[in-house]
Chains A and B, each alone.
Chain A
Amino acid sequence: MASQVLHRQAPLERAEFIRPVAEVPADLRIVQTLPWYERIYALDPIRQFSLLLILAAIWQVYALWLDNNLVLPSFGSTLEAWWDSVARGPLLLRAWTSIKLLLMGYAAGIAVAAILTLLAISTRLGTDLLNLLTAMFNPLPAIALLPLALLWFGLGEKSLIFVLIHAVLWPLALNAYTGFQGVSETLRLAGQSFGLRHLRFAVQILIPAAFPAILTGLKIGWAFAWRTLIAAELVFGVSSGGGGLGWFIFENRNQLEIPTVFAGLLTVIVIGLAVESVIFRTIERITVRRWGMQR
């Protein structure tokens, strides 16, 4: 009760004042540079590379302790086998075969996804079609289609490209479509207000505005395609020319060249890591991050 009575009182009257703003001391730096270790720690590549070194060190120590080259060769002997396969063996050729195939499948997948997404954003029936197809085929592992593809297209690149398209298409189309849906009404109206229509509207407004989602789709599509390709080569062996990385791994496992198997796996990982942290990271840095659309 006492406090309620207090609240009803008029606000306390106090004297006003106006004063000159206090001088800032000459030695106060309003903007200061961070110490060197904080600036180095802020660099992404430094932190990530240190983590990689730590992981490699753990592998090395564990493998030395285990001392069984058939189960887990050490990091050192894997590197040795890797160098051996690069210098004298077919590793580079195998990797190139895989990458070439992957790029073809990836590009074809992007093209089909572009057509399907364009249909989906321009007509309602196209939207339904995309939703239906994605719901049907996205959960289907690409590798499960390979036996069929081999029947239809024969033993060779065509079959692999077919399953690669399947691996890239659905995640990319789904993400791109979601991105287009999310383009703000204001941006659309502003674009129309400047007289942009149809293709120019799509290229100048819709695609850049949806770019964060499209980029996510491209990254997921890349990872799906890469793992699909290696698995396909592993399961179905040599299916084109001299075979790719998966074939390389399979071949060496049959000969119990386990350090070389690890060298093949390491190559798969390093290529994946390089694409992710160099190519996609660079695209991100010069686009969506610079534009403030992603932190």
Chain B
Amino acid sequence: MSAASIAVLPHPLLAIRGVTVQYKTADRLVTATHRVSFDVHSGDRFVLLGPSGCGKSTLLKSIAGFIAPTEGEILLDGASVRQPGPDRVMVFQEFDQLMPWKTVRENIAFPLVANGTDRKLAREKAESYLARVGLSGFSEAYPHTLSGGMKQRVAIARAMALEPKILLMDEPFAALDALTRRKMQEELLRLWDDVGFTLLFVTHSIEEAIVVGSRILLLSPHPGRVRAELNVPSRHGEAGGEAQSALGRRIHHLLFDEDDAQTAAQAGKTVSRRAHG
């Protein structure tokens, strides 16, 4: 990126600067991402897309403040991220992110109260966000009585109610059945239209990335490095649908053909192509 183009762009909401994240297992130190840089701007639906092993979930955890990067910097609104906090709420893939001992409304209200919101106001906010995700009638229900899709809706409402600077989502629909997943993607877009939040969304599905995202960061695996950053065309109209299909093919090409090329290069059959990558 040249100096001129930086000057034109506004100040990014979230800036990832040369971030390397490593995590320890019992007997080894794994480098999940290596010197990854990108910017997320206010109002983006920014998607981190890549095959398993590209460190996208680890990177998201690092942005959430759960894992400190070993190198580089994560800046939210110019301030360095050091620990988890309610300005970057995360929606997880697992259904057990809701507290089973709290009703749906209490689940949404208690993080607000814990962060200093008045109880009555927290209650009202909880109700209003529940209504937004279409679960008004369920505020007294306990999470174990809800279906998977409803649990994820509550988790999304809970995260949105905190009104974070950026909403982090780690494959939130991956554990849902295909029909429900499709519906939830549509609902998320509708919420974005209504409320206008900034979204950082991790997925390994090309199709989901194109449906949900406005901009897609492609990561290549082992360790995760930036491969491309692409704009998603509007899906309205026949031309839009066509453009999206073309983008899907492009992403597929970028993710998988490169793999083939690398395998080939490692096998010593073609050496010249690697120099370009």
Contact indicator B96/A186 (Cβ below 8 Å):
yes
Check A193 for interface membership: any CB of B closer than 8 A.
yes
Q: Taking the complex as formed, is A194 at the interface, i.e. its CB lies under 8 A from any CB of chain B? A: yes
A287 contacts across to B, CB distance below 8 A: 101
From A193, A194, A200, A208, give the contact of B101 (CB < 8 A). A208
B99's partner among A193, A200, A208 (CB-CB below 8 A) is: A208
CB-CB under 8 A from A195, the residues of chain B are 84-86, 111, 114-115
Nearest Cβ in chain A — how far from B56, in angstroms?
16
Q: How many residues does chain A have at the interface if contact means C-beta atoms less than 8 Å apart?
A: 21
Q: Is the CB–CB distance between A187 and B99 below 8 Å?
A: yes
**Chain A positions 262-295 with a Cβ under 8 Å from a chain B Cβ:** 287, 290-293
Cβ-defined partner of B84 (8 Å) among A193, A200, A211:
A193
Contacts of B110 in A (CB 8 A): 194, 204
Contact (A184, B89) CB under 8 Å given A189-B66, A292-B144, A293-B100: no
Q: How far is the CA of A189 from the CA of B155 in the complex (A)?
A: 13
Q: Is the CB of A187 within 8 A of B97?
A: yes
How many contacts between A and B, using CB within 8 angstroms? Answer: 69
Number of interface residues of B (CB under 8 A): 27
> What 0/1 readout, one digit per residue, does chain B (105-127) give for beta carbons within 8 Å of chain A?
00000110011000000000000
Minimum C-beta distance from A293 to chain B (A): 5
Residue B25 is within 8 A (CB to CB) of chain A in the complex? no
B143 x A292 contact (CB < 8 A): yes
A190 to B95 alpha-carbon distance, docked (Å): 12
Interface residues of A in 180-218 (CB under 8 A from B): 184, 186-187, 189-190, 192-196, 200, 204-205, 208-209, 211
Across the interface, name the chain B residue whose C-beta is closest to A194: B111
The answer, among A184, A200, A211, A291, for a CB contact under 8 Å with B94, is A184
Task: State whether the Cβ of B5 lies closer than 8 Å to any Cβ in chain A.
Answer: no
Q: How far is the CB of B154 from chain A (nearest CB, A)?
A: 12
**Bound Cα distance A292, B64 (Å):** 29
Selected contact of A193 from candidates B86, B94, B96, B144, CB within 8 Å: B86
Q: Is the CB of A291 within 8 A of B90?
A: no
User: Which residues of chain A are within 8 angstroms of B66 by Cβ–Cβ distance?
Assistant: 189, 192
Interface of B is mostly: loop
Query: A258 to chain B: closest CB distance in Å?
Result: 49
- Which B residues are in CB contact (< 8 Å) with A208? 99, 101
A292 close to B97 (CB less than 8 A): no
User: Of A186, A196, A200, which is within 8 A of B97 by CB?
Assistant: A186
Can you show 27 pairs from A to B with CB atoms below 8 A apart?
A186-B92, A186-B94, A186-B97, A187-B96, A189-B61, A189-B66, A189-B84, A189-B90, A189-B97, A190-B90, A190-B92, A192-B65, A193-B88, A193-B89, A193-B90, A194-B89, A194-B114, A195-B84, A195-B114, A196-B114, A205-B99, A208-B101, A209-B100, A209-B101, A290-B142, A291-B100, A293-B100
| A173, B101: Cα distance in complex, Å | 22
Question: For A293, what are the chain B residues with a Cβ–Cβ distance below 8 Å?
Answer: 100-101, 144
Residue of A nearest to B98 (CB): A190
- Which partner residue on chain A sits nearest B110 by CB separation? A204
Chain B positions near chain A (C-beta within 8 angstroms): 61, 64-66, 83-86, 88-90, 92, 94, 96-97, 99-101, 110-111, 114-115, 142-145, 162
Residue contact B114 to A190, C-beta cutoff 8 Å: no
A-B residue pairs, 5 tightest by C-beta: A292-B144, A194-B111, A208-B101, A192-B84, A186-B94
Which residues on A sit within 8 Å (CB–CB) of B83? 192
Contact yes or no, A291 B84, CB < 8 A: no
* Complex-state Cα separation, A50 to B239, whole angstroms: 74
| In the complex, chain B residues whose CB is within 8 Å of the CB of A205 | 99
State the CA gap A186–B90 with chains docked (Å).
10
Q: Which of B88, B89, B145 has the most CB of A within 10 A?
A: B89
A196 CB contacts on chain B under 8 angstroms: 114
Set of chain A residues within 8 Å of B90, measured between Cβ atoms:
189-190, 193
Bound: A58/B89 CA distance, A: 63
Q: Are A189 and B99 in contact (CB under 8 A)?
A: no
**Considering the chains assembled together, what is the distance between the CA atoms of A192 and B92 in angstroms?**
13
Find out whether the CB atom of B142 lies under 8 angstroms from the CB atom of A292.
yes
Q: A192-B66, A193-B86 are in contact. Are A292 and B145 (CB under 8 A)?
A: yes
Instruction: Tell me the complex Cα distance, A5–B174, Å.
Output: 40
The answer to whether A190 touches B97 (Cβ under 8 A) is yes
Contacts of B64 in A (CB 8 A): 189, 193
**Complex Cα–Cα for A195 and B145 (A):** 27
- Min CB distance, A291 to chain B, in Å? 4
Please determine whether B142 and A184 come into contact, CB atoms closer than 8 angstroms. no
Q: Which of A140-160 contact B (CB under 8 A)?
A: none
Q: Are A291 and B101 in contact (CB under 8 A)?
A: yes
